[in-house]
Amino acid sequence: MTDQFDVIEAGAKGRRRWVGILVLVGLLAIPVVSLVTSREPEPVEPPAPTPTTRDPIASLSRVTSAPNVLHAKARVKGGEEIIEVVFPHGLRAEVRYPAEMQLDALGSRPFVGMWIRGEEFPVYRALVAPYAGDVEVTRGAKKPLRSFTPDVTLWPRPPGGGLVGQVMLFAYGPWRMAMYDRPAGLRFEARMALATKLKGAVTKDGYLVLKASGPIRLAAPGDGRRRDPVGPQLLFGGGSGDMLTIVPTPGCALPEVPDAMGARGRPTESVCMGDFMVAASGAEWFVKAAVSKIRIKVK
């Protein structure tokens, strides 16, 4: 008579045999599945958009990243070049320089300081042209924190900005001008005044001329703040390369190098040329040529 435990043992062996077969079939099926799936076509990536050139826009509804500089067309005379410039307060002048300096290729940007009334005392801020245009302020963000007008918006404080606060971005034709605030920020009324009372017009040759009214006062030629020249001026070049600044300064006697120039950590010199201060930084030959060979004539 067969023991019941023998029947249970026999049944267990049968189940183990079927389990072993199923495992073997599973192992054989894995490479087959892999082979089939490997033959499936991979998804096709959409083609990258073709780069396009930037067209001037009337508002800040789109973000662009074209260089925010003007390359004036130079006239060649002997070994020199001549360009006509217009400063942010409307003064026209002719700049003559050694051709190897290539100021036309460096391009120019406007700068001017301003005082804003409405606080306990007038507050100073600078209006600058970011070299990289919109993207230098927006950092790729698509929407501003606030839109004061279609052409004036508010953007977050730049990462690692130190004492810099939020940034107001102004659009004047193809030009982008930025006002970097302090962390405490201006009052809403002061920002609205900037958005509505600070006007800009672009000349036929592409220069930006600025005017202000109400509580906004633009710095005049010769104005300074803590010995830093903050009146209307044109900056040529920038970044890590050669840089030149021309500052209308009536009765210029003891030129002070603008803070933006002195903070670059490169050789810097300045000189008075009549009613203009010229400051340069960069390669030694560029600086020497700037302070000794540039000539400026009011038109």
**Backbone dihedral region of 48: left (phi > 0), alpha (psi from -120 to 50 degrees) or beta?**
beta
Give the pLDDT score at 266.
76
Placement of tokens 């004061």 in the chain: 148
CB 250 within 8 A of CB 244: no
DSSP 160-222: T-TT---EEEEEETTEEEEEE--TT---HHHHHHHHHHEEEEE-TTS-EEEEE-TTEEEPPTT
153 phi and psi angles, rounded to 5 deg = -130, 165
Contact 278, 290 (CB under 8 A): yes
166, 202, 207, 158: which is closest to 187 by C-alpha? 166
Q: Which residue in 256, 217, 195 sits closest to 125, CA to CA? A: 217
CA distance 37 to 41: 9
Q: Where are the alpha helices (DSSP H) in the chain?
A: 4-38, 103-106, 134-138, 188-197, 259-262, 284-293
Question: Cβ of 76: how many Cβ atoms within 10 Å?
Answer: 9
Q: How far apart are CA 7 and CA 2, in angstroms?
A: 8
pLDDT reported for residue 37: 37
SS (H, E, C) 211-246: EECCCEEECCCCCEECCEECCCEEEEECCCCCEEEE
How far apart CA 96 and CA 185 sit, in angstroms, is 42
| pLDDT score at 217 | 97
Q: Which two tokens stand for residue 277?
A: 């201060």
The residue type found at 280 is A
Successive 10-residue mean pLDDT values, the chain, 299 residues: 33 41 41 37 38 36 65 92 98 97 96 89 93 89 93 91 90 96 92 97 97 97 90 90 94 77 75 94 94 95
pTM for the full model?
0.76
The amino acid sitting at 299 is K
Q: Which residue has the tokens 């970097």?
A: 180
Q: What does the alpha-carbon distance between residue 26 and residue 21 come to, in Å, rounded to a whole number?
A: 9
In this structure, what token pair is assigned to residue 262? Answer: 């002195």
